[in-house]
Amino acid sequence: MKKTNQVIQEKIVGATGGITGAASILGSWQVCHNACLGIIALLSLIGITVVGMPLLFLTKLAVPFWIAAVILLSITVGFYLKKKCISKNLIMLNSGLIIAGIPFQSLQKFSVFFWVTGGALASIAIGFFIKERRKRK
């Protein structure tokens, strides 16, 4: 019984980490812009012409998505500090994505710094994850 509860808790925590990463990506204007362009390109392949940006409304939601990602990451870090049941690499990857996707207009002049820092953190986490996988084999 105790193992089943622990497995369920670990799955919930893992899902929370995944949601954190997804929300942080949604917070990034450039990703949203590229997704919009991709949708326009796909629609044009089937003969539908779109003028403007069909997902422009998501730019108004970038800050709330980013704040939700930070809150979920905080919960995940809390679980990690309390139970040590979450991958450090997952937390590092999500932190990097959140840093890279900072959506505040007043900080846009520092966006390259955030992209480099967040990208480096995410890349290091991916490298550690790959290293762990190879070590297990």
Domain boundaries, the chain: 2-136
Which of the residues in the chain have pLDDT under 70?
A: 1-2, 17-18, 20-37, 50-56, 58
Q: So what's the pLDDT on residue 124?
A: 93
CA distance 102 to 97: 9
On the 0-12 / 13-18 / 19+ scale of CB atoms within 10 A, 127 is exposed
Global pTM value: 0.60
On the 0-12 / 13-18 / 19+ scale of CB atoms within 10 A, 2 is exposed
